[in-house]
Structures are given as C-alpha cells and as structure tokens.
C-alpha cells in the first residue's frame, strides 16, 4: 500500500499546467478544464497524476495502460486491473492518494470550526452527545476525526454518501478503531495518519493490511518526479 501527499500551495503557471495535463487521459483533461478556479483544476490534475505515478513507479504499469471506469455510486476503478484499488482526497492545501491491492478508502479534512447542527446528518445520537460534552478546543478535532473515519469507510466500500453516515457508529477502544452499521459490527480496519499538522487523515481497508509507505511532497518536487516516470505516454487526442 502506497500513500502520497502533495502540498498544493500554488497555482501552476500556464505553460507548466499544459505540460502536466498531457500525462492524463483525454477524458480527464476535459473534466479538469471545466473547473472555473485554477486551484481546483490543479488539485484534480495532481490527484490523477499521483495515482498514475504510484501505479507506474511501484507496480510496474505503463501510463498508457491506465484507464478508469466508474462504479454505480461514482467510485473510479481500473477495469483491466481489478486487483488494484485506489482512492483520492483533498482538503485545504493538500491532495492525498492511496493505491492498494485491497479495497481501500482515504479521507483528509482540514480542522476548522464546525457547525454542530450539521453533525446530526453525519453522526449517531450517541456520537453527537459525546461531541457536545467536549470542550470547544477538543470538539473540532474530534468532529473531523469521526468524519474522516466514516468517509474513509464509505469510500472503501464505494457507496459514498448513499451509505448514510449517521447509520454508522465509530468506536475507539485502547487505540483500536471499529465501526458498526445499524448497531451491527462491520469488518474494516482503520488508522489515523498523523503526518500533516492541522488536518485529520483517516485510512480504511476492508482487509487487514499493515504494509504501507507514506510520502509527502511539495507540488514542485512531485511534478519533477512525475514527469520522469510518466513522460513515455503522451495522449494524441
């Protein structure tokens, strides 16, 4: 399992953006170019480049072999390589992605002030009561911890928000994180990644997998590495 985190702290200069976008599919190029805000286009582009880079560098793919399709609830997958699973998330100045041979989900959220009335849509009554008992200084961090754990799970299952986050209950016992669906335990394995200050990052795998690497990059550093790995493929569309 490989996890990459890219610090998107700048908008790409136009020439560099055009150079990098050639490494993704024509379909993805069209989607990226629909974004009105350049920073959103950059996040989307680097999320795709990240997955391609991991597949090529760590798993022996060629960039032109990588094509995506979409499941019922919109989760992308590799139809020609169903044994590989991936997921992308972004928040604030960071884009993160994971590639695994197991079903996997990852979610990152910047810790900000939260509106407690929103929590009823995402949390069980018991979870909401615990949130209200916490001091304000702890409440925001715990909110995003619960949120990212649930998001990582529904992203791993591929069901997204159709799952109903408030039907899921997170438990934490001696450092072991578990989850219940409608009060029935579900097999899933979680980890909170403490690699970026000011953010909560949750990783969920539906099978037990402790073998992983996590790497952080600046946008410039990753771009230079990606060009070297992906340059063998230039879409002709």
Residue-wise pLDDT tens digits, 9-36: 988 999 999 999 999 999 999 999 999 9
Work out the pLDDT band at 159, boundaries 50, 70, 90: confident
> CA of 19: how far to CAs of 45, 49, 61, 169, 237, in Å?
11, 12, 21, 45, 15
For residue 113, what are the contacts with CB-CB under 8 A and spacing of at least 6?
140
The per-residue pLDDT of the chain, averaged, comes to 90
The string of pLDDT tens digits covering residues 161-206 is 667 888 899 999 888 999 999 889 999 999 999 999 999 999 999 9
Dist. CA 25–CA 22, nearest whole Å? 8
Contact 200, 93 (CB under 8 A): no
Helical H segments across the chain, by residue range: 14-21, 26-32, 38-59, 125-133, 136-157, 219-230
Task: Give me the pLDDT at residue 235, please.
Answer: 47
| Tokens 């990606």 -> residue | 226
The string of pLDDT tens digits covering residues 33-57 is 999 999 999 999 999 999 999 999 9
Dist. CA 203–CA 2, nearest whole Å? 12
Task: Give me the pLDDT at residue 74, please.
Answer: 79
Count CB neighbours of 4 within 10 A: 26
The helix/strand/coil state of 113 is: coil
Dist. CA 106–CA 96, nearest whole Å? 8
- Output the 3-class SS for 68-91: CEECCCCCEECCCCCCCEEEEEEE
| Tokens 């350049």 -> residue | 38
pTM metric for this prediction: 0.91
């Amino acid at each position: 399992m490989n996890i990459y985190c890219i610090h998107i702290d700048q908008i790409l200069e136009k020439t560099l953006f055009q150079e990098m976008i050639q490494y993704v599919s024509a379909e993805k190029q069209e989607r990226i170019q629909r974004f009105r805000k350049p920073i959103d286009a950059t996040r989307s582009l680097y999320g795709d480049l990240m997955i391609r880079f991991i597949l090529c560098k760590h798993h022996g793919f060629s960039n032109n072999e990588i094509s995506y399709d979409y499941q019922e609830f919109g989760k992308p997958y590799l139809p020609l390589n169903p044994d590989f699973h991936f997921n992308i998330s972004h928040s604030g100045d960071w884009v993160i992605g994971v590639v695994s041979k197991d079903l996997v989900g990852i979610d990152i959220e910047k810790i900000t002030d939260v509106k407690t009335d929103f929590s009823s849509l995402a949390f069980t009554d018991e979870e909401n009561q615990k949130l209200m008992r916490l001091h304000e200084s702890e409440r925001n961090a715990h909110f995003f911890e619960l949120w990212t754990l649930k998001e990582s799970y529904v992203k791993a299952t591929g069901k997204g928000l159709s799952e109903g986050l408030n039907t899921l209950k997170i438990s934490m016992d001696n450092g072991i994180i578990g989850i219940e669906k409608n009060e029935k335990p579900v097999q899933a394995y979680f980890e909170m990644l403490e690699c970026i200050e000011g953010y909560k990052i949750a990783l969920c795998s539906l099978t037990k997998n402790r073998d992983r690497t996590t790497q952080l990059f600046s946008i410039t550093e990753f771009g230079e590495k990606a060009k070297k790995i992906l340059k063998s493929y230039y879409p002709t569309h």
